[in-house]
A and B are shown apart, each in its own frame.
Chain A
Amino acid sequence: MTTGDDRAEDVASVDPFATDPSNPRSWKRAFRDIGLGWRQRALWGYLGWQDIKQRYRRSVLGPLWISISMGVIATAMGILYGALFHEDIKVFLPYVATGLLIWNFINGCILEGSEVFIANEGLIKFLPAPITLHVYRLVWRQTLFFLHNLVIWLLLVIIFPQPLSWTVLLAVPAFLVLGINGAWITVLSGILATRFRDIPPIIASVTQLLFFMTPIVWSYERLKSNPLAAYVELNPVMHFVEILREPLLGQEIVWRHWIVVGAITVVGSAVALVCLRNYRSRVAYWV
């Protein structure tokens, strides 16, 4: 039989699949799940690439289709909404495209996040692995999509030069923050949705609504004269889009967005951690 906690810890550090007999609802186990998942990055890194290659298997252009379809949608939407709102296409097209590719990342994390464990039912039930493995894989896959889409941004800032400055470097920490938020939202909504299957459709309709409430195909600056526009600030997604779009387009950095995003990151991660601690071991039972 097992003795004290210290010994269980010792075994855990050597053996990725050792389970100690203590209460499954423990912080140690939650953090071990996160740590073990990270250690298996060779696996989820490979699987994330496979997911993308899978989608375009036997197609001639392969993953290049991600960039192409993004480019087509962004151009069409930029021209359409630019004409509707009487915007200058040189400014508005890169604005819409950049907003869209950030939105795509957020949308992917939220939408697929709620299905992450349901979709991996087979793997969860048949192969012992930390559940965060599936979370890492999803965020990594979305990151790869984002990087493919970033080509469109690059093309557009070459065609329509933007006032880029050193602030473009802020895009890196901004994207990291987006990734962390993608991870906690996946953990939280993934676990809840595995237990309550009504959550994925709710999330799907909410994200659709969020798209129109976020300044992506319309400009917040233009509508500022309208007193109702201030309510847009209540939409958390807007702040996430802004922290990444501002540096990518050389716009003035508004630190208010960073503060809001920072607060959401801390609170969200804490809630997701509690959820992971309490319900991590239940996921295999619920899927």
Chain B
Amino acid sequence: MVSIDLDRAAVDFPIFDAKTRSLKKAVLGRAGGRIGTESKVPIIEALRDITISLRKGERVALVGHNGAGKTTLLRLMSGIYEPTRGRASIKGKVAPVFDLAVGMDPEISGLENILIRGLFLGMTRKQMDARVDDIAEFTELGDYLQMPLRTYSTGMRVRLALGVVTSIDPEILLLDEGIGAVDAEFMAKARNRLNELVARSGILVFASHSDEFLAELCDTAIWMEHGTVKEHGPLREVLAHYKGRDVLAEIEAR
């Protein structure tokens, strides 16, 4: 049973090096979470009162301004952050694709990086050895996989990371923005593969500012604002409220 259940979950960051004085007043700006001052250490309430239930087959777009809590929510869903208040119950094999540079060693070859990434995502060495050919084919990197990762362009790294993640059959796939750095042709291929993957199993949560990409992969959406869920519903409605116009209709009209 693949599921994500968040029940009034909150993520509070203590900011140890901030000067308390300058943060005396609780600030509620356009960007960022709420800054609380009840305790001695200033706290940023990156997320609060998040109640979300996701089930198998759901393909969720995550939209919102910078600092609205999209990445933090993805990290909460991946189990990296355990909620400071409330509950989080995540069941299923999670594969997060957040920062593509992390967990990748620039000095070692693409193949070795594939192995390490796979091991981090809970695969065994044998399982990864069996998948390497498939990943090599999908990424179209060929002999380049023998080269150290520092010689790769950003797009090539994205290919590698996507190749690993889509080959391991995760039950919960969490994608953060920033995977737009690949060329159009590969993007089409990645979309197909992501679509297949999502159709085959599990849950997709995808944070992005690209409406087209969201329209392609997702059918529902969560709109984050100031660390809370502002709206959760069908993609078309949420996106229309968020942007103030019917974005999906525009995309379809093209």
B5 to A21, Cβ gap below 8 A? Answer: yes
Instruction: Digitize B11-41: 1 where CB-to-A-CB distance is under 8 Å, 0 elsewhere.
Output: 0111010000000000000000000000000
Q: How far is the CA of A285 from the CA of B11 in the complex (A)?
A: 9
A18 to B90, Cβ gap below 8 A? Answer: yes
B120 to A127, Cβ gap below 8 A? Answer: yes
Q: How far is the CA of A54 from the CA of B103 in the complex (A)?
A: 15
Which of B72-80, B132-140, B207-215 is near enough to bind chain A? Answer: B72-80
**Given A21-B5, A42-B124, A47-B116, does the pair A125, B80 have CB atoms closer than 8 Å?**
yes
Residues of B within 8 A of A19 (CB): 79, 82, 88-90
What's the least CB distance linking B117 to chain A, in Å? 9
In B58-84, which residues have CB < 8 Å from any A CB? 75, 78-82, 84
A21 to B94, Cβ gap below 8 A? Answer: no
B78 to A128, Cβ gap below 8 A? Answer: yes
In A156-176, which residues have CB < 8 Å from any B CB? none
Residues of A within 8 A of B105 (CB): 50, 54
Residues of A within 8 A of B14 (CB): 285-286
B119 to A43, Cβ gap below 8 A? Answer: yes
Q: How far is the CA of A125 from the CA of B72 in the complex (A)?
A: 10
What's the least CB distance linking B31 to chain A, in Å? 20
**Given A21-B87, A21-B88, A46-B115, does the pair A126, B108 have CB atoms closer than 8 Å?**
no
Q: How far is the CA of A43 from the CA of B78 in the complex (A)?
A: 19
B102 to A123, Cβ gap below 8 A? Answer: yes
Q: How far is the CA of A46 from the CA of B115 in the complex (A)?
A: 10
What's the least CB distance linking A188 to chain B, in Å? 19
Which of A9-17, A75-83, A234-242, A266-274 is near enough to bind chain B? Answer: A9-17
Please report the total number of B residues contacting A with Cβ < 8 Å: 38
- In this assembly, does B163 line the interface, its C-beta being within 8 Å of a C-beta of chain A? no
Q: Which residue of A lies closest to B125 (CB)?
A: A42
Q: How far is the CA of A54 from the CA of B107 in the complex (A)?
A: 8
**Given A123-B102, A127-B103, does the pair A21, B75 have CB atoms closer than 8 Å?**
no
Most buried by A among B5, B82, B93, B112: B82
B81 to A126, Cβ gap below 8 A? Answer: no
B98 to A126, Cβ gap below 8 A? Answer: yes
- In this assembly, does B122 line the interface, its C-beta being within 8 Å of a C-beta of chain A? yes
Q: How far is the CA of A195 from the CA of B15 in the complex (A)?
A: 11
A1 to B120, Cβ gap below 8 A? Answer: no
Q: Which residue of B lies closest to A123 (CB)?
A: B103
Residues of B within 8 A of A284 (CB): 75, 80-82
- In this assembly, does A122 line the interface, its C-beta being within 8 Å of a C-beta of chain B? yes
Residues of A within 8 A of B93 (CB): 15-17
What's the least CB distance linking B78 to chain A, in Å? 5
- In this assembly, does B193 line the interface, its C-beta being within 8 Å of a C-beta of chain A? no
* Chain A residues with a Cβ under 8 A of chain B: 1-2, 11, 15-21, 24, 40, 42-43, 46-47, 50, 54, 57, 122-129, 195, 197, 281, 284-286
Cross-chain pairs A/B with CB under 8 angstroms, 20 sampled: A2-B5, A11-B91, A16-B122, A17-B90, A17-B92, A17-B122, A19-B82, A43-B120, A46-B116, A50-B116, A54-B107, A54-B108, A122-B99, A127-B102, A127-B121, A128-B78, A128-B94, A197-B16, A284-B80, A285-B14
* Contacts A50-B105, A127-B102 supplied; 15 other A-B pairs, CB < 8 Å: A15-B92, A16-B93, A18-B90, A18-B92, A21-B87, A50-B112, A57-B107, A123-B102, A123-B103, A124-B80, A125-B80, A125-B102, A126-B103, A128-B94, A195-B16
Top 4 A-B residue pairs of the complex, sorted by shortest distance between their CB atoms: A21-B87, A43-B119, A126-B102, A281-B82
* Chain B residues with a Cβ under 8 A of chain A: 5, 7, 12-14, 16, 75, 78-82, 84, 87-94, 96, 98-99, 102-103, 105, 107-108, 112, 115-116, 119-122, 124-125
